[in-house]
Amino acid sequence: MGIDAGGTLIKIVYQEKNRMHYKKFPIFEMETAIAWLKIVAPNVKAALTGGKAHIIQQDFFPDEIIIPEFQATCEGAKLLLQEEGGNLEDPFLLVNIGTGTSWHVVKGGEYERILGSGMGGGTFTGLGSLLTKVEDFQELTMLANEGDKGKVDLLVRDIYESAEPPIDGNLTAANFAKGNKVKHTDADQMAALSNMITETIVLLTLQAAAIHQVKQVVFIGSTLVGNQSLRKGLEFYMNRLGLTGVFLKKGEYCGAVGAYFSV
Strands (E), 108-157: 110-117, 154-155
CA distance 35 to 28: 13
* Cβ atoms of 104 and 70 closer than 8 Å: yes
Closest C-alpha to 221, from 85, 91, 69: 69
Task: Establish how many alpha carbons lie within 13 A of residue 241's alpha carbon, considering only the half-sphere containing its beta carbon.
Answer: 23
φ and ψ of 178, to 5 deg? -75, -20
Among 16, 29, 64, 69, the one annotated catalytic: 69
End-to-end alpha carbon distance in the chain: 10
Annotation says 69 is catalytic:
yes
Instruction: Give strand pairing partners of 97.
Output: 101
Residue 218 has, within 13 A of its CA and on its CB side, a CA count of 31
How far apart, in whole angstroms, are the C-alpha atoms of residue 106 and residue 159?
41
Question: 52, 44, 39: which is closest to 14 by C-alpha?
Answer: 44
Q: Choose among 78, 124, 85: nearest CA to 220.
A: 78
d(CA 149, CA 142): 14
Instruction: List, by residue number, the catalytic residues.
Output: 69
